[in-house]
Structure 1
Amino acid sequence: MQKKRGRRVLKWFLWSLVALMVLGVGGIVAWSQIGVMGAEPGPLASVEENPAITVTDAEQGIVLAPADGASEIGLVFVPGAKVDPSAYAAILQGVVEDGVTVVITRPWLNLAFFDLRGLDSFTSAAPDIDTWAVGGHSLGGVRACRLAADADALVLFGSYCSNDVSDSSLAVLSISGSEDGLSTPEKIDGARDLLPADAEMIQIDGASHASFGDYGPQAGDGTPAISDEEMHEQVTALLDEFFATLR
């Protein structure tokens, strides 16, 4: 009798544990799909209608490539948390026009820290390219830092590393915003010692956290004092100069 009672208790405990796990996983999946910030249609249309760029919806992500096929450098770009990957197409199209192939990843569950794929899962979209940078915005930049050991360069948009890459030979460009309410200037400065001593640290005056993508305002962010057009121009110029050092 006592043994049967013990089995019932054990069975109840195991089924309760399974139920909690299912509820937990289901809750995470549901939360990851709620509140995803979509790409603004206007900027995205400007990319899709750009004759200088080809846009491919590939297994590796959204691939933006020069229409003439002339590309020696690639950039794997990881979106911020719960941001539609397409929201970064417009701010990156200028550098694509100038000869860089960009692969914007689609993080699992819309959150970069759940995505455990290696860099080669994305660079396979353009196997003829030998020089690769990895980058990202916000949480995507944190994930990019984790992938940087397999890259030639690291690009951060309103982000910073949580792992130490200061002893690496990586070329690093960190672009931040003076009005960023999430990756604040203080947070960027606080993580500066995790980057190589020669990392380029550029702050764009008037840029907020959401200025690095085209997905609308974001809770907790500052108020931008720069237009989207000017932001895109400044980012393109900074990326062009940075990638020129890799050629």
Structure 2
Amino acid sequence: MPDKATPGPATPADHPTGGAGAPRPRRRWRRIALRVLLVLLALLLAAVVGLVVWAKTGVMAAEEQPLAAVRANPAISWAEDEAAITLTPADGVHPDVPGLVFYPGAKVEAAAYAARLADLVTDHHMTVVIAKPTLNLALFDLRGIDAFTGDAAEVRQWLVGGHSLGGVRACMLAPEQAGLVLFASYCTNDLSEAQVPVLSLSGGQDGLSTPAKVADHRDTLPAGALMVEIPEANHAAFGDYGPQSGDGVGTASDEQMNAAITEAAGELLTRMQGAHPEAAR
């Protein structure tokens, strides 16, 4: 009987690829992908936290004296909740007069616009709702105006407006509303063919929404838009929150600003009534 052959040393071919002793490429790529995903999630979380901290820091507060005057005005009813400040005529909401939902500029307290908009209530019987957008940034607030108008459900039609970046957000909502009111702002979406009455108020001394920028974006608005420049006004003059970094030097008084805004709004309402009598009766 022949002798049994002694087995030789094992060769690499004797061990199938991916055996227990060798790393599996699929598992290795899964570990790498998981690590990359965790890093991306950590970066995203850090970005979100940073945005929230930034948005909550350095919010420009309403000046006390103009705000106190609005609160003390017996012709105006003030209602406030987490969503908005609502200013209505003391004798009640006028349902047939279009109301205004107004978005503040970035990181500006909603109450800072109360004095600028108060005469719309007393002189034109409008209901004015000043929104409190998410993170004090209107562009990050994707809610419709219904989220802010709960205290004035009787109003049948709404204008939408805003200051600076708040106006940019208002432009996005304008096609579904009765009209658009811009304070020191301009549209980044095209409304040139929209059947929407528009009032654009700007400042000749504005260092942020400069006259040149407003002019450059004029073609995004309908041809019949009412364009009003207040020569002495800077960017911050459209609210009561103090000076703003990067702004020009304005000389317009509070009385001048309030009068110009109220007069221009009255002209817009008159135009709306002429075009659609049922809209502004």
Distance in 2 separating the partners of 1:60 and 1:150:
21
User: Partner of 1:76 in structure 2?
Assistant: 101
CA RMSD of superposed structures (Å):
1.5
> CA shift at 1:189, angstroms?
0.6
Letter in 2 for 1:18: L
* Counterpart position of 1:28: 51
Give TM-score scaled by structure 2 length.
0.84
Tell me the alpha carbon deviations over residues 139-186 of structure 1, each in whole angstroms, 9 at most, x when there is no partner.
000100000011111000000100011111111110100000000000
Q: Identify, as 1 or 2, the structure richer in strand.
A: 1
> Which residue does the alignment assign to 2:204?
178
Q: Deviations over 1:215-244 (max 9, x none)?
A: 000001000111122211221122123223
Equivalence map 1:40-119=2 (5 Å): 40-71=63-94, 72-98=97-123, 99-119=125-145
What letter is aligned with 1:236? T
1:236 alignment partner in structure 2: 262
Letter in 2 for 1:156: L
**1:233 corresponds to which letter in structure 2?**
A
Paired residues for 1:209-224 under 5 Å: 209-224=235-250
Equivalent residue of 2:86, what SS? strand
Q: Does 1:2 align with 2:23?
A: yes
Residue 149 of structure 1 aligns with an amino acid whose one-letter code is P
Percent identity for Structure 1 against Structure 2: 52
C-alpha distance in structure 1 between counterparts of 2:245 and 2:214, whole Å = 19
Code of the aligned partner of 2:34: K
Amino acid at match of 2:71: E
Runs of 4+ in 1 over 6 A off after TM superposition: none
Whether the 8 Å CA contact 2:93–2:154 is kept in 1: the answer is: no
TM-score by length of 1: 0.95
Secondary structure at the residue paired with 1:176?
Answer: strand
Q: Deviations over 1:192-215 (max 9, x none)?
A: 111111101000110000000000
Deviates more, 1:139-148 or 1:232-241: 232-241
